[in-house]
Structure 1
Amino acid sequence: MSKLKKNLGYQTIYQILNTCIPLITSPYLARVLGAEKQGVFSYTQSIVNYFTLFAMLGVVNYGTRTIADCGKDRGKRSRTFWNIYILQLCCTVISISVYAFYLTQICSQNTYIAFLQIFYLLGSLVDINWLFFGVEKFKITVSRNMVIRICSVILILMLVRKPSDLWIYTVIMSGSTFLSNAILWFFASKEIDLKAIKEISWFEIVSHIKPNLVLFVPLMAMSVYHIMDKTMLGLLSTYKQVGYYYNADKIINIPIGILTGVGTVMLPRMTSLNKEGKLEEARKLFLLSIELIIVVAVAMACGISAISKEFTPFFFGKGYDECIRLIIDLSPVLVIKGLSEIARMQYLIPNHKEKIFIESVFCGAGVNFVVNWFLISRLGALGAVIGTLVAELVSCVWQYIKMNKYISCLTTIFKSMIYVVFGVIMFTIVRVVALCFNGGIVALFFEVLTGIITYAVICLIYWKVTKNKIVGLVIKKK
């Protein structure tokens, strides 16, 4: 358990850094590049993301699970790694070739920026994060990412000064991803035998295709309908609307990183517990994780909504008022995504129940496409927000209804809805405090402080009264 706590600690530190970095770069870029240029970046990035998706297949989750299954057998881990990586290498080369065709034969606008996005694909060529996730060595991935992220921020602030510097921003963002992944190869020899590449078996490589595809199909559908919003906005609306959505989505994705970080850490642990037959321990950990995620996600969603009216003009500057409503309307997705992430990473994938995952994601993707098609042309970015919310909700509900046949978790979710009431109370009190000020950083400071204290006090009182297990984690244990 101490190793798990350390990994959660590393991941938490990294996600806090990820939270702080956009707080530095987003307002700067909103003023320097403007909504339209950010829309161009977001649109071209959404296109290359499709190719990156096919390059990686389901390797991140499948590779993590398969490496974790190898346990401490270094020889087996080495052979498994190389067989999976060769498959990843082949898929990436194919994706790069197809993307090159897209650039030369299909792409007609912003071709230069689209070309510079290719570093994301090159990053997939050398991405072996899944190896370190599988052996639960998160310190290496976190420390490396922290250094690269900090350096990229410094470069952005130094070099990106005007709208025409969009190409520099693109190189920094895509290039840092490539560099971050490439550096991991210097540490790979500590976990695997590099010479084991001579033992690769094409038969074993082929054997990894089917289970990889099983995880890739839902990942593809899920990623597609996440990327789909920006792509359809670019096609059916304007780059400015893409820019508004891009910035609102960026604010919401800051705390989402913390929620997904927990899932990344828990996947190999849950896989190990299931393999060792510790099913009751895995069940208790899963149910506790559901409540913890709801506690954190509700606080984030209600907190962001409560301060968005003052935060948006202060953070992005003039001309981004449309983002206020987008942020408020999009904030419930934090709770929905948090629950979906827990289901996927802590139960469905470790227990090899990918079919439920696949069904839920395809339902969500279909709903998202239909809602986007009808609403984006009429409502612009707001239509994309509605499409995201409906799609995420449909996907999440499907997962838990199906999953409840194997593990009783709906009761935990319903009981945890009390935190939504606490969130609404916090929201109301924060808005009352906001009336005492006329905007500005002082108002934001007191709003945030009020929200944190209010929610924390209510939760602590509730945990004490109900003798909730969480109170032991928060107060008694260090």
Structure 2
Amino acid sequence: MNRSRSLGINALLNGLRNCLNLIFPLVTFPYVSRILSVKGMGIYNFSNTYVGYFLLIAGLGINTYAVREGAKYRDNTTNMSLFASQVFTINIYSTIIAYLLLFVSIIIFNNLSNYVACIIIFSIQLFFTTLGTEWIYVIYEDYSYITIRSILFKIISLALLFMFVKNKSDYLIYAGITVFSAVGSNILNYIHAKSMLSIRIVRKTDLHRHLKPIIIIFASAVAVNIYIYSNNIILGLLKGDYDVGLFSVAVKIYTIVQGILTAVLTVTIPRLAMLYGKKLFNKYHALLAELINFLIIISLPAIVGLFVLSKEVILLIAGEKYLPSTQSLKVISFAIVFSIFSWVFSDCVLIPAKREAKLFRGTVITAALNLIFNFILIPIYAYNGAAFCTVLSELVMMVINGYYSWDIVRNIVISRNVIKNLFDSLLGCLGILIVCYVFQLYIDTIIFRICMSIVASAFVYFCILALLKNKVMIYLIKSGLKFIKHN
């Protein structure tokens, strides 16, 4: 588990940023869900999901492509500036196209009339996401700047929320604050990026070189987003805002937990892309093995804990009127592990290996199956059916990506270390199950029950893995002791 200090610091900073993204909805969502009611949340989430498709068009898969290709140029400022300017220019063009398509869709589809105002507010993200050029910071692994500005804008957004969201009709204000929180700092990002590189709009974009891989990655992203977002869209069309509101609570919590767990994964992607691009395969495989082992150790207990405490988490975050979504949260919690390892195979293996065509093939298959799952299960099981569709889709995507990555990951996946980590983690999860069920029997207060369950479960899990002499846990213990000693 020996890894450079910079990668550890990046993981810590990105974890902090993800924790902020966790704390913000944990603080705001209970307040907003009670103020706006289920229908208001349904309109908000439908609009956000709808604009998500056009954000995808504006993004054009450029972030993924830029990180993969830019990682090879980051030691040469001249080449990196040229590459960044070309990619930024292409991104501007795709953003203009996205806006045109969005406004045409609003004109054509009359049934969007109730959502127009909210959609327009969310559409502000298109321009500012492009302007933010966050992929530059990912390439240079500059997570300190991103984390600092996240803290600042989350604090400002929190203050604005409590000041201006006061009644059921304020969902438009909430949408505006959400946009400000997400992309308000992107002007600062762009200014700061220009101090690092000479980034500008250029005439010659070298489109023939960039466009093909960008389009393939974009097509894959479209297919992925079909099976991510189509659940909300189809649920809204077949059932209504109430069901979307209930399902959105489960998805919100699922997304928060997933985001925390992927902090290490996110910061490792550019490093893996750089190692593979420079053909440093021994170092690449060593880092990939460490990543997979670590994700096994942290993802399985998170799933078990979320499954057992689903009711308590729903009550704490959203309130009693959202209790029907408890079953959805239990079901969708299983999608976490499938989603994480699908992401490992796609962004850490297939993309660096330039197998985006195979990734596209897998995502198209998954998207098609997801649509079929949705139209079969949602009419019968409503929001619970949508949750099960998410699990099935993430499982299919993981299996397909794993299949196309098998020649690269085979020796890692079937290694003794991975198998032992899986066995150790499952035993530790058994301890978590026992702890959580005991506290459910004897502790009545929701907040106290959740806090005690998390603390005790973590301690029991930690102890079981330490007794089993788990290498990942031993590394974490040594790192923690070393940090305490030096500080």
Please indicate the TM-score interval, normalised by the length of the shorter structure. over 0.9
- Matched to 1:148, the amino acid is F
State the match for 2:93 in structure 1: 90
Question: Of residues 166, 169, 192 in structure 2, which corresponds to 1:164?
Answer: 169
Q: How does 1:23-422 map to 2 (within 5 A)?
A: 23-106=26-109, 107-194=112-199, 197=201, 200-202=203-205, 204-408=206-410, 409-412=412-415, 414-418=419-423, 419-422=425-428
State the match for 2:433 in structure 1: 427
- Matched to 2:435, the amino acid is I
Q: Which moved more, 1:1-10 or 1:39-48?
A: 1-10
Are 2:22 and 1:19 equivalent residues in the alignment?
yes
Q: Which moved more, 1:345-354 or 1:379-388?
A: 345-354
Q: Cα offset for 1:127? A: 3.1
Q: Cα offset for 1:48? A: 0.8
> Distance between the aligned counterparts of 2:159 and 2:347, measured in 1?
34
Q: Normalising by the residue count of structure 2, what TM-score does the alignment of the two structures yield? A: 0.92
Q: Is the 8 A contact 1:89 1:125 kept in 2?
A: yes
> Distance between the aligned counterparts of 2:346 and 2:378, measured in 1?
29
Q: Which moved more, 1:94-103 or 1:243-252?
A: 94-103
Secondary structure of the corresponding residue to residue 408 of structure 2: coil
Q: Is the 8 A contact 1:84 1:205 kept in 2?
A: no
> Distance between the aligned counterparts of 1:447 and 1:360, measured in 2?
39
Question: Of residues 445, 453, 460 in structure 2, which corresponds to 1:447?
Answer: 453
Q: Normalising by the residue count of structure 1, what TM-score does the alignment of the two structures yield? A: 0.94
Q: Is the 8 A contact 1:367 1:387 kept in 2?
A: no
- Structure 1 residues 332 and 424: CA distance shift in structure 2, 3 A: farther
- Structure 1 residues 434 and 278: CA distance shift in structure 2, 3 A: same
> Distance between the aligned counterparts of 1:316 and 1:9, measured in 2?
29
Q: Cα offset for 1:211? A: 1.1
Q: Is the 8 A contact 1:69 1:272 kept in 2?
A: yes
5+ long unaligned stretches in structure 2: none
Q: Cα offset for 1:451? A: 1.5
- Matched to 1:319, the amino acid is K
User: Residues 433-456 of structure 1, C-alpha deviation per residue, up to 9 Å, x if partnerless?
Assistant: 210122432222222222221212
> Distance between the aligned counterparts of 1:49 and 1:10, measured in 2?
26
Q: Cα offset for 1:473? A: 3.6
Q: Cα offset for 1:129? A: 0.4
Secondary structure of the corresponding residue to residue 404 of structure 1: helix
Q: Cα offset for 1:369? A: 0.8
Percent identity over paired residues: 23
- Matched to 1:423, the amino acid is C
Secondary structure of the corresponding residue to residue 409 of structure 2: coil
Q: Cα offset for 1:470? A: 4.5
- Matched to 1:441, the amino acid is I
**Alignment root-mean-square deviation, CA:** 1.8
The alignment of Structure 1 onto Structure 2 pairs a total of residues equal to 472
Q: Is the 8 A contact 1:360 1:399 kept in 2?
A: yes
Q: Is the 8 A contact 2:462 2:473 kept in 1?
A: no
Q: Is the 8 A contact 1:305 1:331 kept in 2?
A: yes
5+ long unaligned stretches in structure 1: none
Q: Cα offset for 1:415? A: 4.0
- Structure 1 residues 425 and 363: CA distance shift in structure 2, 3 A: farther
- Matched to 2:367, the amino acid is A
Q: Cα offset for 1:125? A: 3.6
- Structure 1 residues 296 and 469: CA distance shift in structure 2, 3 A: closer
> Distance between the aligned counterparts of 2:282 and 2:477, measured in 1?
23
User: Residues 47-82 of structure 1, C-alpha deviation per residue, up to 9 Å, x if partnerless?
Assistant: 111111011111111111222111311111111111
Q: Is the 8 A contact 1:82 1:197 kept in 2?
A: yes
Question: Of residues 9, 12, 19 in structure 2, which corresponds to 1:9?
Answer: 12
- Matched to 2:312, the amino acid is E
- Matched to 2:455, the amino acid is L
